[in-house]
Amino acid sequence: MKILAVGDVVGVSGTEFIRKNLWNLRKENKIDFTVLNGENAAKGNGLDRSTAETLLASGADVITSGNHIWKKYDVKGVLEDMPCVLRPANFPDACPGNGSIVTEVNGVRILVVSLIGNVYMQDAYTSPFEKADALLEKYKGEFDVSVVDFHAEATSEKIALSKYLDGRVSAVFGTHTHVQTADAKILPRGTATVTDVGMTGAYDSVLGIKYECVLDKFLLKMPIRFEEADGKVMFNGAVFDIDEKTGKSTDIKTLNFVEN
């Protein structure tokens, strides 16, 4: 089966691109299942109910997230009402929602896990390595294919987790930096990995934000309100070709293009 991972969707322009194009992209690439990181998808950052509903209706099967998931007040209700919208599993257990889900497509049971890193992040979370171990034990025998969205800053931490999970999950893809990396590969025991899958947002921008805002932040060292950039959208993603009988990946390719 083929699983598409979509890089961080940024703001109104990124969400609108997904609304208009994701089903066609799924058809063109013969995608069976889509995981999309939506923690920046709402206007002004975060994720709200309306945006989550739009993304799901547009072809996302599971929405993962990261450190910006709490930016919108109503996301607590979203996480409680929509089991296919995940917050990082290694957040405190008392947080609303869940960080993992098993869902079925065409008779194939798919485990999706959302994790957040510790290196260079503002808060210290439960070890993603230990949480991954716990979840794999919890769901043992209950899934055929498994994918992990690791929302982390440091490439070393992302690569290390991929190696740690090699042979135990089908794919590990990184999110958070909004820049697609050039290291997509199949690890020795059959896990596909890419350090960061990139973003879906304004092409002429700094990670989806207007240049002027970011430049003022660097030059003035003052609190600056970030504003979403507009214009043409860049789409980043990765397609994993997975043998559902073994749970191993057989191929990975990255997608990277700017809309016409």
Catalytic residues: 68
Q: 143, 110 in Cβ contact below 8 A?
A: yes
Q: Rounded distance, CA 99 to CA 92, Å?
A: 10
CA distances from 25 to 36, 116, 125, 206 (A): 13, 27, 35, 25
Amino acid at 26: R
Q: 151, 116 in Cβ contact below 8 A?
A: yes
- Residues 6 or more apart whose CB falls under 8 angstroms from that of 149 comprise 5, 35, 37, 64, 112, 113, 114, 115, 173, 174, 175
DSSP states of 11-76: HHHHHHHHHHHHHHHHHHTT-SEEEEE-TT-STTSS--HHHHHHHHHTT-SEEE--TTGGGSTTHH
CA torsion, points 48, 66, 207, 227, in degrees to nearest 10?
A: 40
Four-residue CA torsion sign, 136, 139, 145, 148: negative
Amino acid at 227: E
Strand, helix or coil for residue 242: strand
Strand, helix or coil for residue 3: strand
Strand-strand pairing, 145-151 and 171-175 = parallel
